[in-house]
Amino acid sequence: YQAKARGGGRLTFFDVQLRERVQRHMALEQDLRHAASKDQLWVAYQPVVDLRTERTVAAEALLRWDHPAHGAVSPGEFIPIAEESDLIQHVGAHMLRTATRQFAAERDRLELDLQLNANLSPRQLRDPQLHTVVQHALAAAELPAEALCLEITEEAIMHDPAQATWVLNELRDLGVELAIDDFGTGYSSLAQLQRLPVDTLKIDRSFVSDLGESSDREAIVTSIIAMAHSVALTVVAEGVETARQLDLLAGLGCDKVQGYYLGKPAPFDELPTRNPLLRHR
């Protein structure tokens, strides 16, 4: 990258800012190639709580990168960088292997009947090796397939619903469960939902965050839950941060909740396994 010198060879503020952004992007991409082998990547787990039993029933695996120079780099920054190239295949496979292995060991040790939720990116969904990668991770970890739920965003599915349906069916044949992530942002119809081989729908955090402040939002969440239940899907609400949001969601018949109010993503030993709601009551 060469910063364009405007106005007689001087770099403007924007040139400098852009150059810094591009340089960070390139450096992170370079470093990410070796992050796994240098032990800089680890998996945080966030509890998913069943509203009926008030128990933790699953944990979502969220990738963390401790960069030696930049500190904690968020997945919101490095996953999109990885997604631009085949790097996501390496990072994604590494994450699955690590999470299934750690999760299987802890689950057996604690005699917990928890499910592991793991995210798949759009590019992983198009990878012909995906099926094999998932199969190998499960086998190596000795984790039963039904203990794994793979999350795929609504956007990634709706990009090419026919292709996605084919891949999801293939994954389902392995015995894993499937969830639509960030639901509500991609305009899928009930007919489309019904054709997808999925078990769970996760309502996007943006809908949950203004619950209780806007009656429009409440109406949307109500109809998403009704629609999901009409085709026998389990509903998880993401990004629950307050007692008020939790109570509203319980009143609307939401099945499960996830969010800072129940527990932040953390190392596995900090996972509140019993009843995270008790802490607040």
What is the binding site for ligand C2E (CB under 6 A)?
46, 62-63, 74-76, 79, 92, 95, 119-121, 181-182, 205, 239-241, 259-260, 265
Residue-by-residue DSSP string for 126-186: T-TTHHHHHHHHHHHHT--GGGEEEEEEHHHHHHSHHHHHHHHHHHHHTT-EEEEEEETSS
Comparison of 236 and 277: residue with beta carbon closer to Ca ion = 236
Q: How far is the CB of 1 from Ca ion (least distance, A)?
A: 29
Residue 239 contact, options Ca ion, ligand C2E, none, Cβ 5-8 Å cut-off depending on partner type: ligand C2E
Comparison of 15 and 241: residue with beta carbon closer to ligand C2E = 241
Q: Which residues bind Ca ion (CB under 5 A)?
A: 119, 151, 181-182, 238
Comparison of 184 and 265: residue with beta carbon closer to ligand C2E = 265
The closest of 200, 201, 197, 211 to 167, measured between CA atoms, is 197
Check the CA dihedral 167-170-172-175 and report its sign: negative
Residue 217 CB-density burial (10 A; 0-12 exposed, 13-18 middle, 19+ buried): middle
Q: How far is the CB of 208 from ligand C2E (least distance, A)?
A: 8
In the chain, what is the straight-line distance between the N-terminal and C-terminal CA atoms, in Å? 56
Q: How far is the CB of 66 from ligand C2E (least distance, A)?
A: 14
Residue nearest to ligand C2E (CB): 259
Q: How far is the CB of 236 from Ca ion (least distance, A)?
A: 9
Quote the distance between the C-alpha of residue 86 and its chain's center: 19
Comparison of 240 and 249: residue with beta carbon closer to ligand C2E = 240
